[in-house]
Amino acid sequence: MKPDYTTIAACITAVLLLVSSFVYARRTVRGEIDPVPATWVLMMVFLGLSCFMYWNSPRKSFTGNIALTAGLVNISVIVVGVLYAKRNDAVLFDSYQRLCLWLSGIIVIFWAITGDQLVSYILLQLVALIAYSATVKKLLTAKEVREPLFIWVSVLLAAIIAVYPAIVRQDIYGYIYIARAVPSTIGIIWLILRVRQKKIISTKTETA
C-alpha cells in the first residue's frame, strides 16, 4: 500500500504546532518567558476569522490548509497559558493593534457585503502581519530575550512541511496562509538571534 504522504505531512505539521504550543504555554506559566498578551490574543482573533472563512469555502480540506487549522489550536493553547500567567494584568493593545481590530471588523463587513471570500482572506493575512508589531517592537529594543527559539523554529518547520499538502490539494488558501506565516516567523527568529548576538558581544566586551 502506497504511503499517504499528504496525511503524513499534515500530521507532522499538527504535532509540531501542538507540541510547541504546550511547551510555550508551560514556560510562560512558569515565568521563564514574558510574552506580549495582546499579540497572542490578536493572532487568535485573526486565525479564528481565517479558519471561519476557510471552512466556509467550497475548496476546504483538512490537509490542504493544515497549517491554519493546527495553527489556531497552537495559538489557542498559548493564549490560555499567557492569560493564565498574566491573569492579574490587563491586556493592553497599542495603537497598531487597535487599528488591527478595527481593520478586521471592516474586513468581516466587506466579506458579508461582497461575499468575496478569497479577497477577505488575503486582507486578513495582511492585517495579521501588523499584529506582530508589539512583539517586533519589543525584540527591536530588547537587551536580552527569553523567547524560546525552539518554539519559533518548530512553527517555521511546520509551515514549510505544510507546503506539500497545500500543493497536492492545490489549496490557494493554504498557499496564502503559508506565504504570510513563513516570512513573519523567519523575521521573529532573526530578531531573536539578533538580540542574542548583541548580548554575546556585550558580555565579551564587558569581560575584556
Give the span between the Cα atoms of 152 and 144, in whole angstroms.
17
Give a yes or no: residue 61 inside a domain. Answer: yes
Is 142 part of a structural domain of the chain?
Answer: no
Distance of CA 48 to the CA centre of its chain: 12
pLDDT per residue over 33-66, tens digit each? 888 888 889 889 999 999 999 999 888 888 999 9
Counting residues of the chain whose pLDDT is more than 70, the rounded percentage is 94
**Span 134-154, mean pLDDT?**
82
Total residues found in the chain within this entry:
208
More confident site: 106 or 147: 106
Kindly state whether residue 199 falls inside one of the protein's structural domains.
no
Task: Kindly state the cell numbers that stand for 5.
Answer: 504522504
pLDDT for residue 138 is more than 80 = no
pLDDT at 135 over 90: no
- Count of CB atoms situated within 10 Å of the CB of 172: 16
Predicted confidence (pLDDT) per residue in 63-104, tens digit = 999 999 999 999 999 999 999 999 888 888 878 788 889 999
Residue 107: CB atoms within 10 A of its CB come to 21
Domain residues for the domain of 163 are: 5-131+147-189
Q: Record the cell numbers describing residue 77, joined without a space.
A: 493553547
Q: How many domains are there within the chain?
A: 1
Please report whether residue 138 resides in a domain. no
